[in-house]
Chain A
């Protein structure tokens, strides 16, 4: 069964995204929330590594309220889907385990 990875730390101050990317499997999903949404921009530090995983089938999401709150709506990378809390709940149903990276 697959895993949902949630990340709530900025990639500029915390290496958590790189740890997550190393053990994220092809049918897993990643959700950026809180300060994690700073990873959801086109110019984010791990953007190219993230793209490689997306090409392998990993789905990547970001919580829309956290994006809007931080003024990032216009900067959101095209391959990352903005979602609300209802969709967050659905992601935790679609994937059996949730690993929270914090």
Chain B
């Protein structure tokens, strides 16, 4: 049975494993024919920055995995406007130039449409 599932990714990359394991979950979910959306908010926004060179800390590059989401059929990828503003990050600094930007009210509406939220 297909469900609408929103994965919310709120943690910065590299300092702990949450961002990486959230992304792995999204990629795994795409195989199961569910209606998956991904929302980056709070420090999760930092996963989207260009110019990440994670080889300096011997980790796989998160930013290079994120474009795979759409290759895996996850079309609804969102960034939270307020989280961007708080961190002084412009849309042009993000690796996805077609990411959809959501206001607080947009996020409220998005939540009402879901069957499940996967919190990361």
Contact = CB atoms under 8 A, between A and B. Distances in A.
A19 B42 contact: yes
B21 to A, nearest CB: 13
Interface residues of A, number: 17
A75 to B, nearest CB: 28
Given A98-B117, A99-B119, A23 B107 contact: yes
A22 interface: yes
A25 interface: yes
B104 interface: yes
A25 B42 contact: no
A99 B104 contact: no
Interface stretch (B24-32, B53-61, B108-116): B108-116
B38 interface: no
Given A23-B107, A97-B114, 17 more contacts: A1-B112, A2-B112, A3-B111, A3-B117, A16-B42, A19-B10, A22-B107, A23-B111, A25-B108, A25-B112, A97-B116, A97-B117, A99-B8, A99-B117, A99-B119, A101-B10, A102-B119
Interface of A: 1-3, 15-16, 19, 22-25, 96-102
